[in-house]
Amino acid sequence: MSTYVLVPGAGGSAWFWHLLVPELEARGHEVIAVDLPAADESAGLTEYADTIVEAIGDRTEVILVAQSMGGLSAPLVCTRVPVALLVLLNAMVPVPGETGGAWWANTGQAQAMAEQAAREGRELPAEFDPEDCFFHDVAPEVTAEAFARGEDSQSDRALEEPWPLEKWPDTPTVFLQGRDDRLFPLPFQRRVVRERLNIPVDDMPGGHLVALSRPKELADRLEAYRIRHIGPNVS
């Protein structure tokens, strides 16, 4: 049996994974969705990694899945505990010494997002609209539940700290991108990941929140990665 450890993006809420968890459990795996201390102004990337490491405990055959901002903290975990596979999902990929706040300008994210909107014949809202950017392909009932929960707080500290690793960990790493992501468009991610990790970017239907919009398809893709990199046996 493999253990999937799921790391959320900004806001740090394990709720993001609540539709994916039963899909993976039904396939015979242990699944741990991590709540990060994102609202804690004293918590930075090290504390996020501490939380993930504590959740993993002494488990082995761990598949670590990191969504969006989770790409900043998950690699730190790989230097501290055995991780069989790191799956980056619509993720930020930092370089040594770069802050999460600087990542946006350094990578040209704003221009890429505007160019993607133009290709699709969309106009970007004058002010950032999370429903338009994140929930455009999420079922209305799931979107309603998300907004009823309220916005998860995200402190600035984790975005202000320089990324502490000197290089990317040696852990086998794959990158999966939603091809309908409006925040991190697929062409943008292909460029950034090629420049920073020199690995291919796989893609699947869905926007930035594929765990909410396409949990079954995402589980299928994760299982394909598991079989390819770890093996097919589930006990």
Percent above pLDDT 70 for the chain: 99
Please say if the pLDDT value at position 216 is more than 80.
yes
Nearest to 64 by CA among 165, 206, 173: 173
Nearest to 52 by CA among 3, 1, 100, 5: 5
DSSP H helical segments within 85-183, as ranges?
100-107, 109-119, 130-134, 140-149, 157-160
pLDDT of residue 232: 85
Q: What's the chain's average pLDDT?
A: 96
For 2-57, write each residue's pLDDT tens digit.
999 999 999 999 999 999 999 999 999 999 999 999 999 999 999 999 999 999 99
Q: In order of start, what are the domains of the chain with their CATH numbers?
A: 3-229 (3.40.50.1820)
Other beta carbons within 10 angstroms of residue 235's beta carbon come to 5
The reported pTM is 0.96
